[in-house]
Structure 1
Amino acid sequence: MKKEEVPQDKSNLSVSNMKELCYATDENGNYTTALSSGWEPKTIALENSIQDINERVEQARNDVKAGIYSPIVYFMEVHKMDWNILASYVGMWVWRVKRHGKPSVFKKLNDKIMANYAEAFEISVETLKNYKGD
């Protein structure tokens, strides 16, 4: 796109007076950089993604409250992780981390494993152990 055609739509960036760096072509056809305050389709996609994340976090909170999942699932969603990412953070196999998502298994975890999860979620072990979906 040409430098003068770089979108300047209202977006989340414009609220904080930030600009996004984009590549465009100048009048000679050479690539250059240009600043954009936003692009409506990108803003809509970002807002939809954030809404989806918030819904997943709320569902995980409700599932912990109902006793369907352990707090690990909630904090995994809050930190925008999936099972593979969380397993790599705590240094365990994915199947094992998924197993820890069950409340009955979670209750039996030792302090060392709890500490690994707490560190990955940047919370205390007590917060992890005592989270009930409230």
Structure 2
Amino acid sequence: MKREDIPQDPGALHNVTKEVSYAVDENGNYVTELSTGWDVKIKALDVAWNDIEKKVADARKKFLNNEASPLLYFMELKLMDIKILSDYTGFWKWQVKRHLKPHVFEKLSAKKLQKYATAFDITVDALKNVNLNETGV
């Protein structure tokens, strides 16, 4: 791709950041140039973010229907899976899966709740008393 052909399509982050692209200059040498974005990539990222928003909404619904503990909601919100949350908290994966059950979550000790709250960068109170209708959390 020639230097002048590097896409400059404005995306959601075009005012915040730019990405490095490789191009060929007028002498045929490879050079780096900054790009504000590329329409195809912007559309792909939009699809990915829509999928994430759907997962968060599904987790919210499961929490509100008492089908899952608030851990599921915060995992989706913070883009974590069971392995990542396990790594952050030090719990085994099977323990995290078990803690996703509302009746098990309610019995967790303050120490365990603090590990989860720290992993999600929230307070224990916000973890235990999440009110999705009022706070929009």
State the TM-score, normalizing by the size of structure 1. Answer: 0.92
When residues 12 and 132 of structure 1 are mapped into structure 2, their CA distance, relative to the original with a 3 A threshold, is closer
Matched with 2:72 is 73
Matches within 5 A, 1:48-59: 48-59=47-58
Matched with 2:63 is 64
Q: Distance in 1 between matches of 2:104 and 2:80?
A: 20
Q: Distance in 1 between matches of 2:27 and 2:51?
A: 43
Moved over 6 A (4+): none
SS of the residue 1:12 aligns to: coil
SS of the residue 2:57 aligns to: helix
Unaligned runs of 5+ in 1: none
**RCO comparison, higher one (Cα < 8 Å, 6+):** 1
Identical columns (%): 48
Q: Which amino acid aligns with 1:92?
A: F
State the TM-score, normalizing by the size of structure 2. Answer: 0.90
SS of the residue 1:56 aligns to: helix
Q: Distance in 2 between matches of 1:127 and 1:17?
A: 30
Q: Distance in 2 between matches of 1:128 and 1:80?
A: 16
Count, aligned residues? 133
Q: Which amino acid aligns with 1:5?
A: D
Q: Distance in 2 between matches of 1:17 and 1:90?
A: 32
Q: Distance in 2 between matches of 1:124 and 1:37?
A: 37
Q: Which amino acid aligns with 1:7?
A: P
Matched with 1:27 is 26
Matched with 2:5 is 5
Q: Distance in 2 between matches of 1:128 and 1:110?
A: 13
Q: Which amino acid aligns with 2:47?
A: N
Q: What is the deviation of 1:90?
A: 0.3
RMSD: 1.4
Matched with 2:87 is 88
Q: Which amino acid aligns with 2:25?
A: D
Q: Which amino acid aligns with 1:71?
A: P
